Amino acid sequence: MSGDMRKSLLLHGGVLVALFTLQFVLPAYHHGNLARIMVLASYAAGFNLLFGYTGLLSLGHALFFAAGLYGMGLAMSQFGAGTGLALGVGVFLGALIGGLVAVLALRTEEVAFMIVTLMFAQAGYLTILYFGAYTRGDEGFVIAQADRVFLGRDLSNPQSRYFFAFAIFCVSFVMCLSVVKSRFGKVLVAIRENEERARMLGYDVAKYKFAAIVLSATLSALSGAAYGLLFGYVGASFASVQYSIFPLLWVLLGGAGTVLGPLVGTAFMFYLIDLSSGVTTAYMLIAGVVLVVLTLFAPQGLLGEMRRRFWKWLP
């Protein structure tokens, strides 16, 4: 094992051990926050696979998050599915919609790709409102506590919730790490760096991009389904444009193209809003100023900056 590989394993393994251990020492408020952050970081990790490693900027990822959320929620509310099956339905729906979007959106490039993904997400949002008889439109609906039991554990219980969130995060984290280290991941990076060159080297770029979108959508849907299960609510606001912008912000802050970046960016943004809202009612102004400063002085994000300055080996 090379030195860089050892360092990488130590760092990423250490983060997982720290996240596991924190549940025993954190006060109740931060315990709950971290569970939420881990689930949302999984969403950001899915986004990062597409944006950070493949170089495709989607402005419609809320569609995939909402597909997981509603796939899970509607499977329960409309068909009485159990928790495990509903979770599976959510993830499958996200992957399916990811595939459909990929087939159509990959006919475009760059700005057009951004606009097409944005439009698909908006269509998804309006579809949720249109079928209000089932989705309860913008109000959304509650997943009853009795239905939120997985493998015999009540997911509304703080310990179970944290552990489930940790498990979801582990899945996305390990998957991203292995993709990045794999031959497949290296081709994605090659596409990001120079798509023409990758094509000239004989790679089927369209196939790789398709796979990247489906994988990214699947992770986002897993996060959405888990979010609904853990916090008991399914609502259309999670399909709105705002929730397509959030993962972009989190990834940019944490460091696009770094495996740890989504976690760092999500946690940073969460606490930036949370702490500044305790200081002033103009907390969005504080958040905005901090974001501008970070963009100016750490344009590659927090982890990206660490990689540029100190940790060249950071995946």
Partner 1 sequence: MTKFKTVPVTGAQPTRRDALKTLALGGGAAAALPLWARYAGAQTSEPIKVGFQVHRTGIGAAYGRWYDRTTSAAAALINEQGGINGRPLEIVSEDDGTDPKRGAEVVEKFATQHNCDIGFGTLFSHVVIGSAPRAGELKLPYFVVSEGHHVASGMLNRYTLQPGITDVKSQVQAMAPFVADNLGKKITMIFPDFAFGHDHRDYFTAAIEAQGGEVLEHIAIPPTETSFTKYFPKIPRDTEVIYHVMVGPAVLTFVKELGEFFGPQRPEMFGFIDSLEAVDLGSPGLEFLDGTYFWEGNPRYAQDNQSEYDAFFRERVGVDANGASVSDPKDASTYAHMFGCWETLHVVKAGMESAGYQGPKDRAALIEAVEAMTDMPHSNAHPQGAKIFNGKTHQVFGHQYVTKVVDGKLLLVHTTSIEDTYYPDEVDYTTQAL
Contact positions with partner 1 (CB under 8 A) in 228-267: 231-233, 235-238, 242
CB of 58 to partner 1, least distance (A): 20
Closer residue to partner 1 in complex, CB, 9/123: 123
Best CA proximity match to 242, nearest among 63, 116, 49, 114: 63
Pick one of 184, 283, 311, 313: the residue that binds partner 1 (CB under 8 A).
Answer: 283
CB of 238 to partner 1, least distance (A): 7
Buried b (16+ CB within 10 A) or exposed e, 48-82: bbbbbbbbbebbbbbbbbbbbbbbbbbbbbeeebe
Closer residue to partner 1 in complex, CB, 2/281: 281
CB of 245 to partner 1, least distance (A): 13
> Do 52 and 194 touch, CB atoms closer than 8 A?
no
The widest CA-to-CA distance across the chain, in whole angstroms, is: 58
Stretch touching partner 1 by CB under 8 A, among 12-20, 51-59, 109-117, 272-280:
272-280
Nearest 10 degrees: CA dihedral of 175, 176, 180, 185?
80
Interface characters, 190-229, with partner 1 (x: CB under 8 A): ----------------------------------------
Stretch touching partner 1 by CB under 8 A, among 110-118, 181-189, 203-211, 281-289:
281-289
Nearest-5° Cα angle at 261, 123 to 103: 35
Contact positions with partner 1 (CB under 8 A) in 123-142: 126, 129-130, 132-133, 136-142
Closer residue to partner 1 in complex, CB, 193/274: 274
Q: If DSSP states are collapsed to H, E and C, what string results for 137-181?
A: CCCCEECCHHHCEECCEECCCHHHHHHHHHHHHHHHHHHHHHHHH
How far is it, in rounded angstroms, from Cα 236 to Cα 238?
Answer: 5
Stretch touching partner 1 by CB under 8 A, among 16-24, 166-174, 201-209, 273-281:
273-281
Best CA proximity match to 302, nearest among 275, 263, 264, 271: 264
Binding site for partner 1 (CB under 8 A): 27-29, 32-33, 36, 126, 129-130, 132-133, 136-143, 145, 156, 231-233, 235-238, 242, 273-274, 277, 281, 283-284
